Amino acid sequence: MTNMTIAKGINNGLRAAMERDPKVVLMGEDIGKLGGVFRVTEGLQKDFGEERVIDTPLAEAGIVGTAIGLALRGYRPVVEIQFDGFIYPAFDHIISQVAKMRARSLGKVTLPMVIRIPVGGGIGAVEHHSESNEAYFAHTAGLKVVCCSNPEDAYWMIQQAIESDDPVLFYEPKRRYWDKGEVDTDSASRELLRANVVREGTDLTLLAYGPMVKTCLQAAEAAEAEGKSLEVVDLRSLSPLDLDTLKASTEKTGRVVVVHEAPTFLGMGAELAALLQQECFYHLEAPVMRVGGYNLPYPPSKLEEEFLPDLDRVLDTVDRSLAY
């Protein structure tokens, strides 16, 4: 077991993938000499060279378009989008080409590429630096969408994503980059697309992913002091969903609260609520509830703590669910 941060877990995972396969190349703005804005790729250009860790122009459409060409020629490109809100210039490439190539070619052509996206707020940044846009891509058939929440998942999930023959959007919770944890570097504990029950409970299930997993664990600990037993499930994969694990937890506790930073309107929580109420209706003791951001543009940094779900908002929703 090795102790490391989430950022270091991704760095070490990228390094391991590049050592195994010379076709793995990294591309992105300032990822080489600088090591990325968050230093996630620090040291990789020095060790693997400028032909495999490529500093690109500030042009997201060009970066993703070039990665598509590389993937078609047998490479496994890993693209870094510097901040979540910078993904939109490449949106057409991702939706129209990356997601559709396998279906368009009747399975004869695959695009084994990974698009890394630091996601979420909580870092006091300016406009377009704190968005949670995962629902756009989870809605798009042909894409795998995953999100890590801890160092061990960061280390293994990035390697599993690179090994996938289908394109993967890999979300990284930027305000958790420096959270530390134990990592077993000898073997992955679970598959890329499997959810994980990170805390057992009996009274209610909290479903979360990325930055909100830690918040939900804190809520479960606080609730325990009041005699409430909350189960916390880390989705890990947003598309496809590990519905079997989610159903099992729902049927066990009878109550579900979904927590994410993105606005609740048409967000991941809406789909989870609909699915679980459809599949587990006779096991539910209360409606599936949601805690998320408001249906507004992300606010200035002085107001973001009012926008983002916190411990109090999660616990208030838990109390409302348990009151049924």
Per-domain boundaries in the chain: 2-183, 196-322
pLDDT in tens, 201-231: 999 999 999 999 999 999 999 999 999 999 9
Phi first, then psi: give them for residue 285, nearest 5 degrees: -100, -10
Give catalytic residues, as residue numbers: 129
State the Cα torsion 99-104-105-111 to the nearest 10°: -10
CATH topology for the 196-322 domain: Rossmann fold (3.40.50)
Would you place residue 189 in the very low, low, confident or very high pLDDT band (cuts 50, 70, 90)?
A: confident
- Residue 281, classified by CB atoms within 10 Å of its CB into exposed (0-12), middle (13-18) or buried (19+), is exposed
CATH topology identical between 2-183 and 196-322: yes
Is residue 198's pLDDT more than 90?
yes
- CA 273 – CA 13 distance, rounded (Å): 33
Please give the class, per CATH, of domain 2-183.
Answer: alpha beta
User: What is the distance of C-alpha 192 from the center of its chain?
Assistant: 11
pLDDT at 169: 98
Mean pLDDT value across the chain: 97
CB 187 within 8 A of CB 16: no
Name 300's Cβ contacts closer than 8 Å, sequence gap at least 6: 126
Is residue 1's pLDDT more than 90?
no
Is residue 194's pLDDT more than 90?
yes
Coil, strand or helix: which one is 155?
A: helix
State the Cα torsion 116-118-120-124 to the nearest 10°: -170
- CA 213 – CA 211 distance, rounded (Å): 6
* Selection from 97, 64, 65 nearest residue 79 by Cα: 64
Would you place residue 166 in the very low, low, confident or very high pLDDT band (cuts 50, 70, 90)?
A: very high
